[in-house]
Structure 1
Amino acid sequence: MPWTGRRLVALIAAVAVASLLLGIVVMQFIVSPATLAARTEAPEPGPVTAPVENKVLENTVVLRGEVGYADSVAVSIDAAGGEAKAVVTGQVPAVGAVFKAGNVALEVAGRPVIVLPGELPAYRSLSIGMRGPDVTQLKQALSALGYATGDMNTDTFDWDTATGLGALYEQLGYSAATGGEETRDMLRNAERAVRDANVSAAQAQATLDEARAAKAPNTASEQAAATAAWEAVSDAQEALGEAQAAVLPTLPAGEALFLSGLPRRVDEVSVKRGDVLSGSPMSVSGATLSITGTVSKQDADLLSDGLIAQFSAPDGTDLTAKVTSVTAPKSGSGSSENGEGGGSGGGSGDAGAARYTVELEPVDLTNEQIDELRGSNVRLRIPVASTDGEVIAVPIAALSAGSGGEDRVELLIDVRDGHNAETETIVVEAGLAADGFVEITSDDERLAPGAKVVVGR
């Protein structure tokens, strides 16, 4: 049927309504350039704020450290000078044993190798009358053990030194080394010679006394005989002294093991009873576990002996260690190894800058923890300053200086519409700064946790 009359009018009306609705929808998505610019225009600038907080501030130095026993050295024993074959006959230590001054490190050919404190190795046998720095070292070692040493102001191995050495051997259950059977024969002969010389001198003196009593006209021959006899006694006594000195205790080079930094821990043993000694029989290191790391000079200036560091065991247990030394780098050295830099106390330093070595000693470790930690690398935190509990703190960026050098913050009073926010400058007293925050104190009660301070615009 053709579209005529009322049907045509209705169709036209429907099309008009649909077009109107479509136009309204499309207009929602068409924005004029002026409107677009208005919508994208930057808002009026206003203050950037941060809240006032109530928190504990702690300034820390952070570093990484290697855990191990310090100063591992291979033990060297001079057994070549002994008369007997250098067979290990006993006293073989177990790994983990700790050597202290006066201990026996090993028994070779039935003779002890005695551990003594000192930096110089035993490079010769020591006996009465000898002098040198090694004698001084021996006297100092004996004195530290409580034995007689003689005059500590001289470097001479004297009678008292020999006596103290003999007492040490006796305490260990060994006889001290002497000059051998030949020197003992010399001593017996010297003692006999003194007795004979005294008898001869007494006889010559008696003959002289009888001649004088008889008022002999000439006693020159008797006098000469008596003088010669007494001189013979003096010579015999001098020889006896030398013979006695020859049988005094000596310290063979192969029976002394001088080690610095005692006590020491046995790390490795390469001999057993019955082996012929050849090369190093064992290695030793420091007896206590230590942690070694490095820090920049800026962080090193914050550290001191006795500070306590926190670190974690491999199983996550919280552990502590005590700083035992902070050592400056040697001239011309440079390293960035093991350093992480600090907290607010300093950074990691300039790349390649010389770094300070920090030694720490772990505290109260179990044997299991020692075994787990040895050879590991741990992260340590060393608090160097801290507030006494929670304090009022703001970001360091909120702090500014007044014309008189006073510290101050800008407190947000009313944000309004941003660009004309109401603020007020308040004078404060700054305290410890750490982790990007600074402690503040003020009589203004509005500076409380939750308040806003301006940190930028």
Structure 2
Amino acid sequence: MYRDLTIGEKGKDVAQLQKGLRSLGWPTGADPSGTFGSGTAAAVRRMYAAMGYAAPLTASAVTPSANAASDAAGVGEGGEQPGSDIEMGRSSATPQPTEPESTVMLPVSEAVFVPSLPARVVSVPVQVGDTVKGPVITLARGDMTLTGFLDPSEQRLIRTGMKAEILAEATGVHTTATVDSVGAVVTPGSGADKTASDSSAVTPQNGSAYVPVKIKSSGRWDKKYADQDVRITITAAATSGAVTAVPEAAVSAGADARTTVTVVLTLNA
């Protein structure tokens, strides 16, 4: 917003405000689109009340109505003889100063018009009591995105459209998704990592090369996934029959380049 909005204001920004209020479930009454009237003021009051605050008020001067002035002036028009009563009637026709009336307002600093939804709060780098010297909130448009980091040696195993299991271990939230795209090998620090994904993506903490794999949700991502590190499991192949599985800890390589598998046998007495 570029200005405070209160009763009597007109413009496209008022129409944006009214549209936003209605989308949140607070109708603006009979106010025409783009005109801040009593209906819009009532909606603003309800919006602040829902957040637990009293709506901000602004003082606006109120001038006496023409009807009040006419009624007062009519006291001396009833054919009465000149006298103190007539003089008092005439003097009462003079507009008297009135106290400013408080009306609802929406301050410029307390609302942001977002061009499209969904949008989410990315950061709030200030706390109550801080001196404001820069942005107090950062918004991101669009839904959340999920990018996994795949070992380059496994790149050939992953294809677009494969199912993926997503687990946020910190919160226990679990869902299924699909592989949206598989990128090229990226080496951190080479400059390619800045163009391989958007600026909000992070890189592996170990600094090793990786293949970015973008995961697509079947709908919108659960808000509980926001800013969470998640485990992505993609099954490249499976069998319904019995197989022999060898734990990684059982495999070792000697100095002669020979690979050894340690087997533990259980003998029946």
TM-score range, shorter chain: 0.3 to 0.5
Task: State which structure, 1 or 2, has the greater radius of gyration over its C-alpha atoms.
Answer: 1
Hey, which of these two has a bigger chunk of helix by percent? 1
TM-score of the pair, normalised by structure 1? 0.30
Structure with larger RCO (C-alpha < 8 A, sep 6+): 1
